């Protein structure tokens, strides 16, 4: 039982950390924009959506036991963003289960076996990030469209979301892979599977 609680807590803090860094970057960019131009652009920072990569990373590393932690942090962040109730639950579910579906597609179709993040190449990580970005952006756009909370322009919405989801998830996954290699995290699992 403690192993599952540990996995859930780890995923909670990993995703929480990614939101913290993401929001810090937005705050820094907005402060710079305010100083440079005297006005704010709230789309800044959307081009580095790190939490998408954190959700996928938690699912790959901890599996189904990471879902409770991811669900709790997603609900808290949706409350923080003050999302309207007509999109609140849909966005929570997309944040948590979008990466699950994307990674599961790879495992089911055996495009590549995305089980051990340490052994993945940059090409396979980028391919996963493309699918994550497409699924997340198109799902959220569809929710906006179905709830009549349509963004001003479909093109502007997708031009902001797609690159942000791809870049953010790629940066997070590559950084996580680098940290895991530097600190030799995940090596125990390889040794156990070799025995």
Going from the C-alpha of 136 to that of each of 31, 68, 141, 158, 163, the distances in angstroms are 28, 20, 9, 10, 11
Please give the pLDDT value at position 192. 39
Please give the pLDDT value at position 95. 92
- Number of domains making up the chain: 1
Q: Over pLDDT 70: what percentage of the chain?
A: 77
Q: Which helix (H) or strand (E) holds 21?
A: helix 2-37
Q: Give the integer Cα–Cα distance in Å for 171 and 56.
A: 12
The mean-pLDDT minimum among 13-17, 129-133, 147-151 falls in 147-151
Task: Say yes or no to pLDDT of 193 above 50.
Answer: no
C-alpha 130 chain-centroid distance = 12
Report residue 195 as tokens.
């025995």
Task: Say yes or no to pLDDT of 141 above 50.
Answer: yes
In degrees, rounded to 5, the angle at the alpha carbon of residue 124 between the alpha carbons of residues 101 and 7 is 50
* Largest separation between any pair of C-alpha atoms in the chain: 62
Over residues 30-38, the mean pLDDT reads 58
- Classify 55 as helix, strand or coil: helix
Task: Say yes or no to pLDDT of 26 above 90.
Answer: no
Categorize the per-residue pLDDT at 194 as very low, low, confident or very high, splitting at 50, 70 and 90.
Answer: very low
DSSP 40: -
Domain extent for 155: 2-194
Please give the pLDDT value at position 45. 47
- Taking alpha carbons only, the member of 3, 39, 147, 35 closest to residue 86 is 147
Task: Say yes or no to pLDDT of 91 above 70.
Answer: yes
Query: Within 10 A of 96 (CB to CB), how many other CB atoms are there?
Result: 24
The mean-pLDDT minimum among 6-15, 17-26, 172-181 falls in 17-26
Please give the pLDDT value at position 191. 40
Task: Say yes or no to pLDDT of 40 above 50.
Answer: no
pTM of the model: 0.85
Over residues 151-165, the mean pLDDT reads 81
- Taking alpha carbons only, the member of 189, 69, 55 closest to residue 118 is 189
pLDDT, averaged across the chain: 81
């Amino acid at each position: 039982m403690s192993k599952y609680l540990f996995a859930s807590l780890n995923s909670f803090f990993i995703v929480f950390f990614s939101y913290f860094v993401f929001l810090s970057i937005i705050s820094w960019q907005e402060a710079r924009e305010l100083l440079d131009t005297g006005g704010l652009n709230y789309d800044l920072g959307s081009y580095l959506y790190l939490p998408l990569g954190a959700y996928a990373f938690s699912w790959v590393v901890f599996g189904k036991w990471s879902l409770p932690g991811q669900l709790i942090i997603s609900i808290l962040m949706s409350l923080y963003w003050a999302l309207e109730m007509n999109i609140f639950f849909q966005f929570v579910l997309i944040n948590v289960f979008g990466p699950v579906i994307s990674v599961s597609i790879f495992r089911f179709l055996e495009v590549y076996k995305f089980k051990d993040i340490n052994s993945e190449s940059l090409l396979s990580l980028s391919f996963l990030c493309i699918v994550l970005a497409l699924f997340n952006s198109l799902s959220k756009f569809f929710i906006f469209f179905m709830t009549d909370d349509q963004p001003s322009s479909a093109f502007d919405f997708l031009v902001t979301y797609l690159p942000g989801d791809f870049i953010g998830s790629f940066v997070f996954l590559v950084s996580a892979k680098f940290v895991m290699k530097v600190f030799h995290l995940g090596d125990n699992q390889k040794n156990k599977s070799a025995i």
